[in-house]
Chain A
Amino acid sequence: MGLRPLARLAAGPVPTFVVPGRGGRRAADDLRLDGRLRLVDSPRAAAVLLVAGTLTDRLLPAAMLAHDQIPGPRATVQWVPEGRRDRLAGTFSAPVLLRGDVDVGAAVAATYRELLAGDRPSDPPVYPDVPPAPWRGAGPYGQGGKGMSGGVPYGRPLAGRAPDRDGLELDRLPLEIGPLFPPFPPGLILRIDLQGDVVQQVAGWENALAFGRPPRDIFRRALREPVALAELEVARARHHLRWLSGTLRLHGLPALGLRVLVLARRVGPGDVDAVASLKRKLERSRSLAWATRGIATLQPEDVRDGPGGPVARSAGIRDDLRTEDPAYRGLGFEPLTRGEGDARARWRHRLAEAVQALELAGRAGDRLVEAAGGVESPRGALRIGGSPSADLLSRLPALLPGREWGEAVALVHDLDLDMEEAVRAAREEAA
């Protein structure tokens, strides 16, 4: 069936809301570079729900809710990467199922075209479109009523009075953010109390991706077998650049973020100059400096006795497992540190570490890293049975209270959590 004129016009980049499941985060990120898609931050603006990776039991209800929030006409595409089980694939009513190494962008674009042409009916909602519980407000505007103030009556967060940090009695709103809130790492669910736009308390967190085994990237492989130092350091540089791409997006520079993502995917030992030039350019940006200096500052005691990593090193703590490795010592490796501990220090530090990593990779020859109990991953000390993400996650309830919302979001992003890596840390409720 041919397309009507308006539908023909609409057949451009598909507004897509991505649900990154297990094993799908990186691929979901890479889809930003696909000109046939336009990833959106809210399901309300989307036409296609793309489930990338495997769903967990905890992620499924959130994915279904996001599905129902897409206004329609809508469709679902589920993509399961190679080597992953399609645990809950096919849960949605009529999804397009993709497996392994396929062109996801083309499939999404084709699905959207079918929707526009009317060849594919819009997905029916998963949940019935009725309130989960009747509204019991008594007043003329639905306000008041028994049990209808404060807390989360019948699943709806409502503000109640509570003392704030200055000792005033102000409205306090309990909220659950995640697991699909785009600026957060996929799978992180935070239960927080907001007063105005200030985080008053972290009541608990949950890991919606805590299931099965942690992903086997090169750093985890290095725990068990010797790996080439050059390969490890290139992976570190790529990881930091990928993180930087997300940072630029969060701070309102999505186009620059795309440019950095392209670099992150192809960077190698020969690209020291390209990354160093990027570093110089970003450090010259007064607006980026102004937007991040003094924001989400961490004190050394906030990150002491933790996994180290760039978060700690940018707050003045010199922990780095690489200093104990003879292969790195042979290259004259010295860990970089900064003292400020704010958001600006974190992106500058990670960029400096990316340059350093590429330099190390260039000089490494065929040196091997043989882990003695731990590997310095891009997030910090990775050990068998212990991950930097799990440790940083457990510190969130102490780090966020008192921060303005935007600052809190920047801090969660800067910790660079990987919820799949933090498999053992499933949930924590504050007392």
Chain B
Amino acid sequence: MRPSLSPGFAVLATGAAMAAGIYATAVLDEIVGGIVSGRGARAAGAMLAPVRRAAQLVLQRRAATERPDAEAWALAPALLAGLAAVGMAVVPFGPGLAVAGIDAGIVLFGAAMALVMVAVFLQGWSANSVFPVVGGYRFVAQALSYEMLHMLVLIAAALPARSLAVGDIVESQAHLWNVLRQPLGLPLYLVAAAGLAFWGPLRLPDAEDLAGGTSAELSGVALLLWRVAQRAMLVAVAAMGAAAFLGGWQGPLLPGAAWLALKTLALVALLVAARHLLARVPVERFMWACWVVLIPLALLDVFLGGAQALWAAP
């Protein structure tokens, strides 16, 4: 039995961690975007920009379409943010310290991430409008392609730890992080992570050629919630990436939570840079790449992980 947190503190801790992560993502995005566009980035402006956008959306009324699926439309961002919170909850921020330090944490994480497809499809479906629904279907094609990849690399990371608990996976990296032990793991995981958060090169359901896709009919608070939920997902997958491949809370001097935050931020920064430097992948090409190249590579990663587990066996 692992030490557990009181429910109130658990909800607060998850919420605070995610809010900080979402804000940091938005600021980083502003800074990198400013540098890439050549406009330059002023720190003060970048700190304020996300707050400004949020205030604009809060002050905007919410528009409705004809005959939307109102319940599903309200549910979609809540579901996506909720799934991100579940993902965040299993990531330990210290030895034996996690909001949900359960024995099968990696399974819970995978189960939550599998439902992301439902949330994004609901968002696309509910508006009763063409571009959002095409975006929703695109995401289904995208999700069917990255999901295998996503779970395979996480299983490979779990093999040397001989445990499905995320805490054990972190502790198994005490001497050597998985990013070095399994060099295929983190790059493949980041592809799946960008897919899960429909971010950067994998922003297929919200693409420019669909005038915003699943978010094309969103306005006001609904749009704000959808953007927040998407970035929450980005933070959650980055945190899991830090735990599974970068040694999680382990590190000298600083407390564990600080190390986890730093490593998560590093992965977020990588994904933000990818958004501004990598072109969006056409949907058919992404499916081809996943099934023909990346999933076989992920299987190879699993075999390597298995070999490492046998090697380390007592």
Contact = CB atoms under 8 A, between A and B. Distances in A.
Given A71-B220, A256-B276, A10 B56 contact: yes
B279 A251 contact: yes
Nearest to A183: B209
Contacts of A9: 51-52, 55
B279 to A, nearest CB: 4
A44 B285 contact: no
Interface string B208-233: 11111001111110010000000000
A295 B284 CA distance: 10
A288 B281 CA distance: 8
B279 A44 contact: no
Interface stretch (B32-40, B98-106, B184-192): B32-40
Given A10-B59, A71-B62, A73-B59, A250 B281 contact: no
Interface string B49-69: 101110110111111001100
A405 interface: yes
B203 interface: yes
Given A9-B55, A71-B60, A292-B279, A255 B208 contact: no
Interface in B1-58: 32-34, 36-39, 48-49, 51-53, 55-56, 58
Given A42-B212, A45-B212, A196-B137, A116 B59 contact: yes
B282 interface: yes
A253 interface: yes
Contacts of A88: none
Contacts, number: 152
Contacts of A44: 63, 216-219, 223
Contacts of A290: 279, 281, 285
B238 to A, nearest CB: 20
Contacts of B108: none
B179 interface: no
Nearest to B62: A71
B181 interface: no
B134 A197 contact: yes
B209 A175 contact: no
B37 A41 contact: no
Contacts of A182: 208, 211
B204 to A, nearest CB: 8
A7 interface: yes
A42 B217 contact: yes
A409 interface: yes
A404 B284 contact: yes
Contact of A131 (B56, B66, B217, B220): B66
Given A47-B60, A71-B61, A182-B211, A251 B280 contact: yes
Interface string A69-104: 111110000000000000000000000000000000
A13 B52 CA distance: 8
Contacts of B170: none
Contacts of B59: 6-7, 10, 73, 116
A285 B37 CA distance: 16
A247 B63 CA distance: 30
Nearest to A15: B56
Given A197-B137, A252-B207, A406-B207, A45 B130 contact: no
**Which of B38, B49, B58, B276 has the most A CB atoms < 10 Å from its CB?**
B38
A135 B65 CA distance: 14
A254 B211 CA distance: 13
Nearest to A406: B209
A238 B33 CA distance: 23
B134 to A, nearest CB: 5
A409 B283 CA distance: 14
A142 interface: yes
Given A285-B279, A410-B209, A252 B200 contact: yes
Nearest to A9: B55
Given A9-B55, A291-B282, A142 B134 contact: no
A193 to B, nearest CB: 12
A339 interface: no
Contacts of A131: 66
Contacts of A404: 282-284
Contacts of A409: 209
B280 A41 contact: no
B241 interface: no
Contacts of B39: 35, 258
13 contacts: A9-B55, A10-B56, A45-B218, A47-B56, A71-B220, A250-B208, A251-B279, A252-B208, A253-B279, A287-B277, A291-B282, A291-B285, A404-B282
Interface of B: 32-34, 36-39, 48-49, 51-53, 55-56, 58-63, 66-67, 130, 134, 137-138, 200-201, 203, 207-212, 215-220, 223, 276-285
**Which 8 residue pairs are nearest across A and B when measured between Cβ atoms?**
A252-B280, A12-B52, A71-B63, A9-B55, A291-B279, A255-B36, A10-B55, A258-B37
